[in-house]
Amino acid sequence: MTARDGQYDRRRGLRRFVQLEGVAKQALDTGHVRLIAVAAGFALCFLVIAGRLIGLTALAPRDDGANLPAEARQVHSARAEILDRQGVLLAGNVRAVSLFANPRKVMDAARAASQLAAVLPGLEQENVLRALSSDRGFVWVKRQLSPRQQDAVNRLGIPGLGFADEERRVYPLGRLAAHVVGFTGVDREGLTGIEKGRDDDLSAGRTTTLSIDVRVQHALRAELLASVEEFQAIGAAAIVMDVHSGEIVAMVSLPDFDPDAKDEVPADNLFNRATLGVYEMGSTFKAFNTAAALEFGLAGLTDTYDASKPLRVARFTINDDHAKNRWLTVAEIFQYSSNIGSARMALDLGPDRQRAFLKSLGLLDRPQIEIPEVSAPMVPSPWREISTMTVAYGHGIAVSPLQMATAYSIVVNGGLAVTPTLIARRPDEQNPSPRILSERTSQSMRELLSLVVEDGTGKQAKAKGYLVGGKTGTAEKAGAGGYRRNALLSSFVAAFPIDDPRYVVFVALDEPKGIKRTFNFATAGWTAAPAVSRVVSRIAPLLGVAPAPGPAAVPSDSLLVSVSKDR
């Protein structure tokens, strides 16, 4: 084709073309070739850049972490949620990123360590420098950064760093059920509570639904906190248990902790007093001694024992705190919480039958439940005659609140075995339970427990509108060389409604102090019993327990009516 140069003819208003030949034509053709070559070069560069961007974004794996080192990929599996029995979230996950490094690609380890320590609180510069100076291909720098921290690290522009997507375990209700739910480590492996006890299920993505009801849990914790504050106790424990299914509807241990800030928690706060603590329970144990005497046919409610004077055995003397100084019926021994009468009943029972009965209630073995923080009881060894007598009123043997709630459930539910659980059970999971004691003995014990609240040491456990039965227990805590008279464990175990029990409530205060309102008494009738009254009043409506049609009272046809008055 011939090159042409257009010129304008003013006379004719036309454009005329001049053909270029020779050197001019060659120069123009060369310019065209160079222009095409430059354009092709720019296009090629843009194609390379676009391909690289596509490789880094659209074609690169994103959330599955497949392009990350193996150490970073292992945190990507999802951990299942923990829910309360109503479906309320107790433990879940939120997205988080963690910072790692390839030390071999970090150009200036000292400078990088200084910069990272400046923008990431809690990092020790020396530790970071040591990690970045290693010859490894992967090291964690800091786990679970906040978005602002991630942005700050990005702005540093340090080569050799990378981020791994993972999940952080969170506990939306904080302290409410901390000892039950527990917490995980930085790699989300269960360390305590249900998080550890059900670690395999949770790691496999299987949601765990607890028997805990957060409404009942909140009420129980609030009342326990109020009692601890009022009586300046060093700690407390409480349990609400379904007497038929063994489901634990609420469990509280104080002091507690925030599992989202577990690294800042004192070690003592992690201790679960409800399952890991074992204590001499004092007079609450008399329920088992009395039930055993009735079950083995050794005594009836109207049979009497000599409680007219202290009982001396070798170098020991057994006294009554509320001495009547006379013979007492079995019902009165329980009503007035007589140590002397209980010890004499235990002598008739004997050590072999006493041990066998307590074992059948689960009081001599480590209980089985879905959390690892569980202690075995402390039992007499050898089990001498004096042990038989002191165990009758709750001394010389130490058990956990969990064991007490379980044993009382058996005593009041008609005598059927109960297995405690923190996992919600379906109605079709209820299997027939073996019988531990007779319905007749259980009925008699319900009447005795009602009598204690109506006209005994547990009067302050009455809850308006509800039938409550229970037993007080005040035990001196053991110390170096004996017992500490001013260090008490004050507890109350209640069942309601006592005419047809559905729930047991256990409350214990550790070293409460007497106050003006209690005439400086720190015993269970003044401290733990009122707490139980408030708890029952708050949780009964939540649990669907209807108020009684009349005031709580011992049934009119009960044998106790004829023996319940002080003679």
Q: Which residues are catalytic?
A: 283
CA distance 142 to 431: 50
Helix (H, G, I), strand (E, B) or coil at 425: coil
CA distance 482 to 385: 19
Neighbours of 95 (CB within 10 A): 11
CA distance 474 to 533: 17
Query: Do the beta carbons of residue 401 and residue 363 sit within 8 Å?
Result: no
Q: Taking the mean position of all CA atoms in its chain, how far away is CA 67?
A: 37
Helix (H, G, I), strand (E, B) or coil at 315: coil
Nearest Cα residue to 436 out of 295, 241, 301 = 295
Query: Do the beta carbons of residue 505 and residue 494 sit within 8 Å?
Result: yes
Residues whose CB is less than 8 angstroms from the CB of residue 211 and which lie 6 or more positions away in sequence, other chains included: 85, 242, 247, 248, 249, 421, 422, 423, 424, 425
Main-chain dihedrals φ then ψ at residue 399, nearest 5 degrees: -130, 170
DSSP for 195-209 reads HHHTHHHHHTT--EE
Helix (H, G, I), strand (E, B) or coil at 184: strand
Task: Tell the burial category of 61 from Cβ atoms under 10 Å away from its Cβ (0-12, 13-18, 19+).
Answer: exposed
Query: Do the beta carbons of residue 533 and residue 463 sit within 8 Å?
Result: yes
Q: Taking the mean position of all CA atoms in its chain, how far away is CA 408?
A: 22
Q: Which helix (H) or strand (E) holds 419?
A: none
Both structure tokens of 540: 């009964």
**472: β partners:** 492
Query: Do the beta carbons of residue 472 and residue 336 sit within 8 Å?
Result: no
Nearest Cα residue to 349 out of 396, 394, 290, 437 = 290
Neighbours of 44 (CB within 10 A): 10
DSSP at 392: T
Both structure tokens of 55: 């490789």
Main-chain dihedrals φ then ψ at residue 109, nearest 5 degrees: -60, -40
Q: Which long-range contacts (CB under 8 A, 24 or more apart) does 181-188 make?
A: 181/82, 181/90, 181/91, 181/210, 181/259, 182/259, 182/371, 183/259, 183/262, 184/79, 186/143, 186/144, 187/74, 187/75, 188/75, 188/79
Alpha helix (H) ranges present in 308-338?
Answer: 330-335
- Structure-token match 């070069």, residue found: 41
